[in-house]
């Protein structure tokens, strides 16, 4: 849960590349990060970032 919260904050509040968000959230495999994030958020990291910026 802590990794998800860190990743969602970085996706929402920074312009870091998604691969960098994955690594800084403790994932060594960006594909695994995307799958895990999608399970928690119901959206891919890219979709989450786009939705959070729309409002």
User: What DSSP line would sit under 15-39, residue for residue?
Assistant: ---HHHHHHHTT-S-HHHHHHHHHH
The count of residues in the chain is 55
Domain ranges of the chain: 2-54
Q: How confident is the model at residue 54 (pLDDT cuts 50, 70, 90)?
A: confident
CATH superfamily label, 2-54: Homeodomain-like (1.10.10.60)
CA distance 42 to 23: 20
Q: Provide the terminal-to-terminal Cα distance of the chain, rounded to the nearest Å.
A: 24
Tens-digit pLDDT profile for residues 20-49:
999 999 999 999 999 999 999 999 999 999
**What's the pLDDT at 31?**
97
CB 16 within 8 A of CB 10: yes
Q: What DSSP element (H or E) covers 5?
A: helix 2-13
């Amino acid at each position: 849960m802590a990794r998800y919260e860190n990743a969602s904050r970085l996706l929402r509040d920074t312009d870091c590349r998604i691969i960098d968000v994955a690594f800084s959230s403790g994932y060594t495999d960006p594909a695994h990060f995307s799958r895990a994030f999608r399970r928690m958020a119901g959206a891919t990291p890219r979709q989450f970032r786009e939705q959070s910026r729309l409002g």
